Structure 1
Amino acid sequence: MTREIIEVQNQQQLDACFAIRRKVFIEEQNVPEHIEIDDYDRLDSSTCHVLLLEKGQPVATGRITTYTDGSAKIQRVAVLPDYRKGGYGTSLMNGIEDCARSHGYTRAILDAQCHAEGFYERLGYHTISAEPFDDAGIPHVRMIKDL
């Protein structure tokens, strides 16, 4: 395996993130594009986009914004279907957390789709929402982890 995690630095890399998210969220999960693409989808200091490359090809992505309490808010975590086995999700999350630490964050918050709650628990996150909530028509739970 030749995996590489990069922090997105240019529009071509950002477009690769969008292509993965389009495939996973818009096409596969039917999330409306106007919900999926938002004001954080740009290259600036307020957002850190991360891309996982396998043999130079983009296969997974996620981003970090700042949550209201100063924690890293991990969002838009997406892995292409052909790469959902073999530890790619774990590699991506490790890279996102490393990026968060490098930007000075000491805690991460994320809203996990309910079917992925166990995955995040195995990575050390714990659920803090009392009940699932709807986000883009998909049930989610809020989770947290100290970095």
Structure 2
Amino acid sequence: MAHLSIEITTSLNSAVYEDALAIRKEVFVQEQHVPADMEVDSDEGRAIYFVAYDTDHRAEGTVRLVPDEKGVGDVQRMAVRQNYRHHGIGRVLLGAVADYAEKNAYSQLLLHAQVHAIPFYEKLGYQLTDRPEFLDAGIRHREMIKPLSNEVK
């Protein structure tokens, strides 16, 4: 795997956000046929965006974290460009999210995993909840959580 850098932003006027949006549109709208009006939602302004860049500063993957008032971080919009999958980019992105969440005293992370990706998330410490499988944008999902140490570093 090439060296990656992770950039984080909350600004919807930043190049990092624009890169996150471009990856999401490529993966979700074009590849998975999620309607474009469902991809950009009311959480855009509340989210923290993480983008993985290679050594040539090409954006390869993204994920966003939406905090709630109970110390739970909702991990959303995890996407890696097709040519960059299976190179550890998702693992690095989710590691950055977990580090951020622990430093900010989140108690756990929650995500809605596409069913095919459940084994990937399980390797990173996420566990299935009791919530039954559901459809989101016509894609099968399961809810997963990852408890955090909740220590401020």
Same fold, TM-score > 0.5, yes or no: yes
In the comparison of the two structures, how many residue pairs are matched?
Answer: 144
One-letter amino acid matched to 1:77: M
One-letter amino acid matched to 1:54: D
> Which shows bigger deviation, 87-96 or 22-31?
87-96
Cα drift, residue 69 of structure 1: 4.0
Instruction: Measure the CA separation in 2 of the matches of 1:69 and 1:110.
Output: 15
Match of 1:145 in 2: 146
Cα drift, residue 9 of structure 1: 5.4
Instruction: Measure the CA separation in 2 of the matches of 1:61 and 1:17.
Output: 6
Which of residues 26, 31, 52 in structure 1 aligns to 2:29? 26
Match of 1:97 in 2: 98
> Which shows bigger deviation, 80-89 or 60-69?
60-69
Match of 1:37 in 2: 40
Match of 1:107 in 2: 108
**Given the two structures, how large is their TM-score scaled by the length of structure 1?**
0.91
Task: Provide closer, same or farther for how the CA distance between residues 145 and 9 of structure 1 changes in structure 2, counting only shifts above 3 A.
Answer: closer
Instruction: Measure the CA separation in 1 of the matches of 2:27 and 2:69.
Output: 27
Match of 1:52 in 2: 52
Which of residues 12, 17, 22 in structure 2 aligns to 1:14? 17
Instruction: Measure the CA separation in 1 of the matches of 2:30 and 2:90.
Output: 19
RMSD: 1.5
Q: Percent identity?
A: 33
Q: Give the unaligned 5+ runs of structure 1.
A: none
